[in-house]
Chains A and B, each alone.
Chain A
Amino acid sequence: MLSRVASSLYWMSRYVERSDGILRMLKINYASAQDTIHEFTWDPVIRISSGGNEQEIRLMKNDSRKVVEYLLFNRNNPNSIINIITLARENARSVQEHIAKDLWQCLNEYYHTVKDPKLLGYVQKDDPMTALDILIRQVMLYYGTADSTMERGEIRSFMSIGKYLERSIQSIDILDIKFISINNNPDLLTDTSYWKHLLLSLGGYELYLKSYREGFSDENVLELVMLNSDFPRSARYSVNNIQRYFQRLKSEKNIDHYNGLSFNIGKLNSNITYSSVHTIKQEGLHNYLVNIRSSLYGIGNLLNEYYFANL
């Protein structure tokens, strides 16, 4: 497969996954902002999911509608949904003959949905939740279509690697920011709604309730998000999948590159698999997360160099 094609498939997939993460987080935080007696702060959400500048963020003054509008539609915010879906679609367009027609049409429709003025109307005047639900539905359609139409081969491997790499980075970022807030404000440790929203925005609330009967504790949350091998948004599950799809790319032609990258992915996977809440705490959570994140970025860089021919 052409390197450019592999790169486009990988980025298409990363952008769609990123939009999924941002939308879910937005939805939960919006709901949370409607349901709090304390001053709700959008600050962590904006820091995780936008690359916008400080001034623009100050101007929004924590106004929920404005924040949602900014994260969905602002062209100056490089991670706004409209920007990343435009990029996902451009990537898909340039590899149209490699992806299923249904998948292209699905992504095309997602793009046109984001651009629909009705959606902006929901955010500015009516119920912003409706807009978020409509968009989340588009992502789900995309994943369903990808799953049922894409051939199982190199194409899907690159798409999956992109998806799980993006997902693991997101989970780690969310965890990191939420735990930093606790360091600054230890009262949050015992705040049930704080944990509830963290878990909801990662889609792990129900699994948490089923797995841990003794209520919310920071250690259990950490275990679920980092180490649970059955939770689809945990770091462990995502890295497992990166390894699984990467192994399918094995070819004698570029065995050195394959081995090099395989080593890195394997090392990261072992690092997570053989960690426990106890060892993570010993190392310091923030340090641990920083290390994992830099390993993930390292994998992205090697893919770029070895497989996408971008030196």
Chain B
Amino acid sequence: MSEINLNNYKKIHETWDEMYVSDKKLRNQYQNILKYLKNESANDLNKKEELAKRLFMSQGITFTVYDSGEGIEKIFPFDIIPRIITASEWDFIEKGIRQRLKALNLFLKDVYTNQFILKDKVIPAQLVYSCPHFLREMHHLQVPHDIYTHIAGIDLIRDYDGTFYVLEDNLRTPSGVSYMLENREITKRLFPDLIPQCKVRSVTEYPAILYRNLLALSPRAVANPTIVLLSPGMYNSAYYEHTTLARLMGVELVEGRDLVIDEQKVFMKTTTGLQQVDVIYRRVDDDYIDPLVFNPGSVLGVAGLMSAYRKGNVAIVNAVGNGVADDKAIYGYVPEMIRYYLNEEPLLKNVPTYSMGNRDEREYVFGNIQKMVIKKTNGSGGYGMLMGHAAGQEEIEAYKREVMKDPRNFIAQPTISLSSAPCYIDGMLQPRRVDLRPFALYGPDGISIVPGGLTRVALKAGSLVVNSSQGGGSKDTWVLSNDTN
């Protein structure tokens, strides 16, 4: 029985480590779990890792990769060591997200109605109008309670000094919340009694809060409004999440072909005839939601849905057209939005962002390309980025040519190192880069943020990319209820 060696943990140079202050000195919040780990052998931990894999597989917590017509089910890699956030850190994050989300929601309301922020020249009108996700169809469309951003997954990272930065505001159809819930369920099995001992706050409220918010949006004043979750169907990689949320909230999971529009009302086809639908939590992108208005080739949406939405006969969650607020070029202006709408100083920092559409900024970026990450404004999943420090000369030149074709579509940010957290890899604890996606729910009663979130991990040594499509995994995320223990 070899005990696992906890003393050979090598912090990554110039990086904030979530567990260690220095190579020897432990942060307070990790005391309990480390004490627990000291009594475990490598064998025990391997067994836990096996158990985790088995639980994921047998419960079908998988995403499907379609290859030559046959679906292959894969599990999203999971690291057994939880990532721990202190009560005071969480307090700050929560306040910061609340403030940011409030401003972003006001921005959407403004930009689709009076456009004061453009008239006051706080944000260049040209930037908004050139955004492909800015939808004219949303102009003066009255959304219930003026809420656009019902569900937000705001990605946070930490620089070398531990400062939190917002990397992205995901305001369209953020995913990953089922992993936040499942990771916790699995950790309960892996480390019995440890969660109550450490006074970790619960995340199980999420589906109940979401359901309550959805219920409150119903345009019809009926006792039991019909709420549905609109999924693109079982070939979608996030299908597992859709079924999980539908099951946990007790709402019907529908596909576009289950719905029809009649006299600008939405109905679902049931075995006992048509049943009116009041609230749609959709996991289908704007582009595909209504073939009459957007992509005409889409079979995932419902023809006529936008007319029912405009008429106020159905609530859609999240609102259509949110992409203009989480566009990467608009992102740079979020601190300005907070000052403009709330008259407050932003709590959470933005990563400095250079818009490549601006000539001066572009030249500065090209001059310092080794320190920069260049991204497409509408890209996601970690694709189509240039990591300046890791790219070769040819790659850089090719990318520059790509940028020059349409500079508006690119932004650049200085490389942020991302904090590291201990992971159990190859029989020992090793530091790997992590980010954090807490999920915020905006309802008529205000903003609720379940204490926790999805911590994504770049499992490859040295990697800074946490996306699951690029070899990323996830961890359970613990928020402690107080910092005194």
Task: Give the number of residue pairs across the A-B interface with Cβ within 8 Å.
Answer: 45
Q: Taking CB as reference atom, which chain B residue is nearest A306?
A: B271
Q: Taking CB as reference atom, which chain B residue is nearest A90?
A: B234
Q: How far is the CB of B434 from chain A (nearest CB, A)?
A: 31
- Comparing B249-257, B350-358, B373-381, the segment that makes contact with chain A is B249-257
Kindly state whether residue A173 has any CB partner on chain B within 8 Å: no
Kindly state whether residue B269 has any CB partner on chain A within 8 Å: yes
- Chain B neighbourhood of A251, CB < 8 A: 272
Is B271 within 8 A of A3, CB to CB?
yes
Per-residue 0/1 for A1-25: is the Cβ within 8 Å of any B Cβ (1 yes, 0 no)?
Answer: 1111010000000000000000000
Contact A254/B258 with A94-B234, A96-B243, A97-B253 known, Cβ cut-off 8 Å = no
A254 to B270, CA, bound (A): 10
Kindly state whether residue A205 has any CB partner on chain B within 8 Å: no
- Chain B neighbourhood of A6, CB < 8 A: 271
From DSSP, what is the main secondary structure of chain B's interface residues? mixed
A90 to B255, CA, bound (A): 15
- Chain B neighbourhood of A1, CB < 8 A: 270-272
Q: How far is the CB of A115 from chain B (nearest CB, A)?
A: 9
Contact A2/B270 with A94-B234, A97-B243, A97-B253 known, Cβ cut-off 8 Å = yes
Is A104 within 8 A of B253, CB to CB?
no
Task: Please report which residues of chain B, range 237-269, place their CB below 8 angstroms from some CB of chain A when the two chains form the complex.
Answer: 243, 246-247, 252-255, 257-258, 268-269
Is A307 within 8 A of B271, CB to CB?
yes
Q: How far is the CB of B122 from chain A (nearest CB, A)?
A: 46
Task: Please report which residues of chain B, range 263-289, place their CB below 8 angstroms from some CB of chain A when the two chains form the complex.
Answer: 268-273
Is A154 within 8 A of B243, CB to CB?
no
Kindly state whether residue A290 has any CB partner on chain B within 8 Å: no
Task: Please report which residues of chain A, range 199-255, place their CB below 8 angstroms from some CB of chain B when the two chains form the complex.
Answer: 249, 251, 253-254
Number of interface residues of A (CB under 8 A): 21
Q: Which of A1, A97, A158, A249 has the most CB of B within 10 A?
A: A97
Q: How far is the CB of A18 from chain B (nearest CB, A)?
A: 21
Task: Please report which residues of chain B, range 76-122, place their CB below 8 angstroms from some CB of chain A when the two chains form the complex.
Answer: none
- Chain B neighbourhood of A307, CB < 8 A: 271
Is A4 within 8 A of B257, CB to CB?
yes
Is B247 within 8 A of A97, CB to CB?
yes
Is A104 within 8 A of B60, CB to CB?
yes
Kindly state whether residue A309 has any CB partner on chain B within 8 Å: yes
Q: How far is the CB of A73 from chain B (nearest CB, A)?
A: 14
Q: Chain A residues in contact with chain B, CB under 8 A? A: 1-4, 6, 90, 93-94, 96-97, 104-105, 154, 158, 249, 251, 253-254, 307-309
- What are 19 A-B contacts with C-beta separation under 8 Å? A1-B270, A2-B258, A2-B269, A2-B271, A3-B270, A4-B254, A4-B255, A4-B269, A93-B234, A94-B233, A94-B234, A96-B60, A96-B243, A97-B243, A97-B253, A105-B60, A158-B271, A253-B272, A253-B273
> 7 shortest A-B CB distances, which residue pairs?
A253-B272, A309-B269, A3-B269, A97-B247, A307-B271, A254-B272, A6-B271
Q: Chain B residues in contact with chain A, CB under 8 A? A: 58, 60, 233-234, 243, 246-247, 252-255, 257-258, 268-273
